[in-house]
Amino acid sequence: MALADFVPAPNEGTRKPRVSEPGGVRSHVETVRFVPAPRRETTSEGKRNSDSGTTRMGGCETGEIPLTLLASLNYVGQTISTRPTLAWFVPDSQSFNLEFRLYEYGLDSELKQVGNEILLKSSPGIMKLSPIEPETPGLSVGKKYLWQVTIICNPNDPSQDLLATAEFRVVDRQLIYSRNLEDLTTLEKVDLYAQEGLWYDALSEALKLSKESKLGEVGSALLESLAKWEEPEATQQVTSQQREEIEHHIQHLRQIAISEQ
């Protein structure tokens, strides 16, 4: 199977032939090209802080790969869904309490929490969540959001918590809305979303083809592709510490793509 390619610029792209699922995934999936926007938006407009695009190590990690969000640490991802699915990797076989929070950026980049925190139990491998319930209002098109996953290693010592954050923006893509998505296979939807730079939508569809707590072949390919395009652009100003964080994130994404396929 050819790996998904993650390359900048929303582009119409040629449609792929319809294929059977899921048995035909290995033999029929063609290259999926992920195409981010021409001017990729860096997290917090290039000024990353403790609230955006971060991963904090804690006291309950036992594996080589830490808690890792399946998203860009350096750039703001995009989605057309007002109820997006978000996914992350949990390293530990032991189950811990896990907290999920979603924030909306307001004026002067102030963060306002959306809804209440969601309490879960961690499980090893790939976890995913659609935090916006169908009966509640969806997220706002044009707005930027920050999502945060925290694993509570020691309830009596918050400094030991594992914490990771990433950002995304809900965007309007009329080209997508003009397509009859019901006529597309899941693989074709992955391809369409990937070519339009919609990381969260592409990954959400790809995970429908995977086993529980795994990425599957298509998801693994997308993650490899994301890692390829995570490097800072030449014009982006980053500190040595930020660059080191990004390099570690790239390494972890690639390790997860292999270990969780």
Residues 138-162 pLDDT 10s? 999 999 999 999 999 999 999 889 9
Structure confidence at residue 231 (pLDDT): 86
Average pLDDT of the segment spanning 50-59: 57
Give how far Cα 200 sits from Cα of 99, 156, 179, Å: 20, 34, 18
What was the pLDDT predicted at 79? 96
**pLDDT above 80 for 15:** no
pLDDT digits 0-9 by tens, 163-216: 999 999 999 977 677 778 888 899 999 998 998 889 999 999 999 999 999 999
CA distance 152 to 98: 6
More confident residue, 54 or 228: 228
pLDDT over threshold 90, residue 237? no
Residue 113's CB: how many other CB atoms inside 10 A?
12
Beta strand ranges found along the chain (DSSP E):
5-6, 33-34, 55-56, 68-69, 77-79, 86-90, 97-105, 111-113, 118-121, 125-129, 144-152, 162-170
Q: How far is the C-alpha of 147 from the C-alpha of 71, rounded, in Å? A: 10
Residue 232: pLDDT above 50?
Answer: yes
- The stretch 113-135 carries a mean pLDDT of 95
For residues 210 and 193, give the distance between their C-alpha atoms in angstroms, rounded to a whole number: 18
Residue bearing the bigger pLDDT, 180 or 70? 70
The pLDDT mean for the chain works out to 83
Instruction: Tell me the C-alpha to C-alpha distance, in Å, between residue 255 and each of 166, 201, 248, 249.
Output: 19, 22, 11, 10
The residues facing 222 across adjacent strands are: none
Distance (Å) of CA 88 to CA 6, 41, 135? 19, 21, 25
Write the Ramachandran bin of 95: left for phi over 0, alpha for psi from -120 to 50, otherwise beta: beta
Range from 39-53, 121-135, 185-199 carrying the lowest mean pLDDT: 39-53
Q: In whole angstroms, give the CA distance from residue 150 to residue 116.
A: 14
User: At 226, is the pLDDT very low, low, confident or very high (cuts 50, 70, 90)?
Assistant: very high
d(CA 244, CA 178): 42
pLDDT of residue 27: 42
Please give the average per-residue pLDDT across 18-46, as a whole number.
58
CA 173 to chain centre: 19
205's tokens:
């569809």
Q: Is the dihedral of CA 150, 233, 257, 9 positive or negative?
A: positive
Per-residue confidence (pLDDT) for residue 57, from 0 to 100: 60
Whether 120 has a pLDDT exceeding 60, the answer reads yes
* Residue 239 reports pLDDT greater than 80: yes
